[in-house]
């Protein structure tokens, strides 16, 4: 029997060139298998180039919407994948940073993995939150007022985080659960 707990939910996947392919594909499949509709939101129209292990070109993925043209009101949840260059490009784009900051401010659930928290840091969205990430991002999270733990999956008021692709089974299960739960009124 297929889990349809996310039927009717709209999930934004914010990504650009350099996204770690498995961190885009597996969470997207998990939420779609649970009934959600996903929208790949990016910085420019066309396609984005995914990477495998940051250095090998993977597949390309068609962009559905531009981040400058969407609003958090358009979606029920947000996914932020890693790869080192993907979040580094996102955190330098004012429209992407604004979208993430506003989205987190709604209290709607967000899933973030690996280097993805860099965009959250830039959006001042980790202050007072507990999360995990790839080891090289942890100092940035602490410097931005967040608490870092080294666990497979961490949930803090709808913010679901994991460290790396090895954590994807737990991450995917937890984002489906949190996305089904919806808004967290206590989120800041």
Cβ-contact 179, 8 below 8 angstroms: no
Which residues 6+ apart lie within 8 Å of 151 measured at CB?
A: 132, 163
Active site residue 172: no
Catalytic residue, candidates 11, 104, 114, 160: 114
* Complete DSSP assignment for 127-186: TT-EE---GGGHHHHHHTT-EE---SEEEETTEEEESSGGGHHHHHHHHHHHHHH---TT
Cα separation of the two ends of the chain = 37
Residues composing the chain: 188
Cβ-contact 164, 114 below 8 angstroms: yes
| The residue to which tokens 């932020």 are assigned | 80
For the annotated catalytic residues, the residue numbers are 114
């Amino acid at each position: 029997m297929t889990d349809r707990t996310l039927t009717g939910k709209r999930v934004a996947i914010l990504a650009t060139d350099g996204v770690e392919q498995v961190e885009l594909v597996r969470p997207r499949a998990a939420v779609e298998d649970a009934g959600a509709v996903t929208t790949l939101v990016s910085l420019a129209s066309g396609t984005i180039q995914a990477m495998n292990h940051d250095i090998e070109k993977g597949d390309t993925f068609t962009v559905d919407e531009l981040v400058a043209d969407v609003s958090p009101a358009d979606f029920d949840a947000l996914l932020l994948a890693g790869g080192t260059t993907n979040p580094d490009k996102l955190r330098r784009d004012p429209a992407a940073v604004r979208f993430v900051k506003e989205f987190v401010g709604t209290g709607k659930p967000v899933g973030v993995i690996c280097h993805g928290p860099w965009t959250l840091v830039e959006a001042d969205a980790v202050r007072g939150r507990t999360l995990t990430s790839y080891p090289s991002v942890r100092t940035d999270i602490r410097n931005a007022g967040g608490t870092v733990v080294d666990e497979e999956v961490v949930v803090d008021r709808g913010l679901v985080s994991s460290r790396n692709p090895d954590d994807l089974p737990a991450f995917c299960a937890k984002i489906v659960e949190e996305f089904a739960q919806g808004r967290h009124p206590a989120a800041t």
